[in-house]
C-alpha cells in the first residue's frame, strides 16, 4: 500500500482534527499537524510530504506567506498545496491560486469534495 | 580411453531416450487438456439440449413466442437489477453524508469537552460556529442571573453598533432565551443587504435541561455559505446542550479553583500562626 504524507497547517484544533479525520480515510495516509506557518516550515525541514493543506488566517505566519515561501524554496516547491479557508470571495481564491496553491477549498468543508481534490492530486503524482 | 568413450555414448543414448519420453509425456498432457476442454463444451451443450428438445415439438410461431417471453423476462430482470444498483448508489451517498455529519458532530463535541478553561471553551464554540457552520458575524451571550440580562461574552466579526446587553424577554433574542426555543429567521439566509443586530438569522438558547444559561446568535453567514444543511441543524441542537454544559462546568471549575486557592491561603496563614 503506498504511503501518503500530509501536513495539515491550522491554528484551530477543531479544524485540524476534522481535516485529519477526513484524510485518515485515504489508505496509507500519515498526518502531521502544525499550528501555524513557522511550525509548518520546521516540520517541512525534517520530513517529506506529499500534500500540504493550510488555512490562511493564522497567527505568527499566515497561510499565504507559507505558500509563497514553499514555492520559493527549491527543496519544497513541487509539493502540492491546498488552501482551506473561511475567505471564500473570488478575489481571495484568485490570490491564493496566483501564489501557487493547487486548490482552494472554502470552509465549511465538505469532506467528499476535499477527498476528491486530494485523490486527484495524488492520482496526478503517480 | 575407449572405455570412457563407450560410457559417454551410452549416457548420450540414455539421455535421448529420456528426452523422447519427456516429449511424449508433454504431448499426452496437451492431448489430455484438449479432451477436458471438449468434455466441458459438451457438458455446456447438454445443458441447453432440453430447450432444443422443447423446440422440436413446437411450431415456429410458438418458438418466437417463447423467445419473446424469455427476452421480456431478461429485460425485466435487467431493469430490476439496474434499479437495485441505483438504490445502492443512493444509499451509499446517504451513508457517506451521514458519516461526514457524524464526524463533524464527533469532532465538535470532543473539542467542547476537551477543556475546563472558560475562555478556551468560548474559543472552541466560536471555532465551531465559524468553521463548521460557516457564520461570519455572531456572538455568544450569557444570562446574568442577578440582573436578568444577556451580555456578550465572545463575538466574531460584529460591528460596534451591536448592543452588548439585552434584557431577557426583549426582542427576538430575549424572547428566544425566555422561551428556551431556537429561532430561525424566515427566508433566504444569504439575502442580507445590511446586518440587522435586532433581527438575527439564528438564535440557539444554551440549555442545561430546561434552564437557559445563554444564547448563540448568528447575524451573517460567510459569503460562500448559501443555506443551512441538515448537519447545521444537528450542530445547532448539539451546541444547545453541549456548549451549555461545557461553559457551565468550566465556570464552576474556575470558581472552585478560586475558592480552593482562597481556602489554601487561609490554611497557610493559620499554620503560620
pLDDT by residue (tens digit) across A39-61? Answer: 999 999 999 999 999 999 999 99
Whether A99 has a pLDDT exceeding 80, the answer reads: yes
Domain that holds residue A35: 4-125
- Can you read off the three cell numbers belonging to residue A107? 470552509
Complex ipTM: 0.88
A2/B contact by beta carbon, under 8 A: no
Which pLDDT belongs to residue B48?
A: 66
Give the span between the Cα atoms of A82 and A102, in whole angstroms. Answer: 6
Contacts of A111 in chain B (CB under 8 A): 100, 103
Q: How many domains does chain A have?
A: 1
Q: Chain A neighbours among B 225-244 (CB < 8 Å)?
A: 225
Residues of chain B with pLDDT under 50: none
Which pLDDT belongs to residue B165?
A: 86
Q: Is B75 left (phi over 0), alpha (psi -120 to 50) or beta?
A: alpha
B208/A contact by beta carbon, under 8 A: no
Q: Chain B neighbours among A 17-76 (CB < 8 Å)?
A: 17-18, 21-22
Beta strands B183-184; B202-208: pairing state:
antiparallel
Closest partner residue to A106 among B130, B133, B224, by Cβ? B224
Give the span between the Cα atoms of A26 and A4, in whole angstroms. Answer: 8
List CB contacts of B246: < 8 A, sequence separation 6 or more.
B112, B113, B115, B121, B124, B125
Test mutation, B94, B96, B100, chain A, max A CBs within 10 A: B100
Tens digits of residue pLDDT in B39-68: 888 877 777 666 666 666 668 888 899 999
Closest partner residue to A21 among B103, B128, B136, by Cβ? B103
- From B169's Cα to the closest Cα of chain A, the distance in A is 33
Which pLDDT belongs to residue B54?
A: 63
The CATH number for A45's domain is 3.40.50.2300
Amino acid at each position: 500500500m503506498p504511503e501518503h504524507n500530509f501536513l495539515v497547517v491550522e491554528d484551530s484544533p477543531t479544524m485540524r482534527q476534522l481535516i485529519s479525520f477526513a484524510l485518515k480515510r485515504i489508505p496509507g495516509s500519515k498526518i502531521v499537524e502544525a499550528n501555524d506557518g513557522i511550525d509548518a516550515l520546521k516540520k517541512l525541514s525534517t520530513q517529506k510530504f506529499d500534500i500540504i493543506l493550510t488555512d490562511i488566517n493564522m497567527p505568527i505566519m499566515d497561510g499565504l506567506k507559507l505558500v509563497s515561501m514553499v514555492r520559493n524554496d527549491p527543496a519544497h516547491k513541487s509539493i502540492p498545496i491546498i488552501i482551506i479557508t473561511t475567505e471564500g470571495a473570488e478575489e481571495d481564491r484568485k490570490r491564493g491560486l496566483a501564489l501557487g496553491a493547487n486548490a482552494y477549498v472554502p470552509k465549511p468543508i465538505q469532506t467528499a469534495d476535499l477527498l476528491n481534490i486530494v485523490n486527484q492530486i495524488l492520482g496526478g503524482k503517480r | 580411453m575407449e572405455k570412457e568413450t563407450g560410457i559417454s555414448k551410452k549416457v548420450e543414448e540414455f539421455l535421448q531416450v529420456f528426452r523422447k519420453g519427456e516429449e511424449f509425456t508433454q504431448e499426452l498432457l496437451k492431448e489430455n487438456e484438449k479432451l477436458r476442454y471438449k468434455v466441458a463444451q459438451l457438458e455446456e451443450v447438454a445443458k441447453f439440449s432440453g430447450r432444443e428438445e422443447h423446440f422440436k415439438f413446437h411450431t415456429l410461431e410458438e418458438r418466437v413466442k417463447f423467445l419473446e417471453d424469455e427476452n421480456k423476462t431478461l429485460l425485466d430482470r435487467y431493469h430490476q437489477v439496474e434499479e437495485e444498483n441505483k438504490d445502492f448508489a443512493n444509499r451509499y451517498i446517504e451513508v457517506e453524508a451521514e458519516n461526514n455529519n457524524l464526524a463533524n458532530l464527533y469532532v465538535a463535541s470532543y473539542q467542547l469537552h476537551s477543556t475546563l478553561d472558560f475562555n478556551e471553551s468560548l474559543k472552541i464554540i466560536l471555532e465551531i460556529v465559524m468553521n463548521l457552520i460557516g457564520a461570519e458575524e455572531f456572538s455568544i451571550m450569557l444570562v446574568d442571573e442577578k440582573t436578568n440580562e444577556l451580555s456578550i461574552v465572545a463575538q466574531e466579526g460584529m460591528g460596534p453598533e451591536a448592543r452588548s446587553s439585552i434584557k431577557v424577554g426583549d426582542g427576538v433574542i430575549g424572547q428566544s432565551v425566555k422561551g428556551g426555543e431556537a429561532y430561525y429567521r424566515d427566508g433566504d439566509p444569504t439575502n442580507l443587504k445590511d446586518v440587522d443586530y435586532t433581527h438575527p438569522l439564528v438564535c440557539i438558547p444554551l440549555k442545561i435541561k430546561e434552564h437557559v444559561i445563554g444564547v448563540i446568535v448568528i447575524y451573517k453567514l460567510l459569503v460562500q455559505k448559501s443555506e443551512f444543511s441538515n448537519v447545521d441543524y444537528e450542530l445547532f441542537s448539539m451546541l444547545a446542550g453541549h456548549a451549555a454544559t461545557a461553559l457551565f462546568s468550566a465556570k464552576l471549575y474556575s470558581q472552585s479553583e478560586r475558592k480552593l486557592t482562597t481556602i489554601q491561603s487561609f490554611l497557610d496563614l493559620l499554620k503560620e500562626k
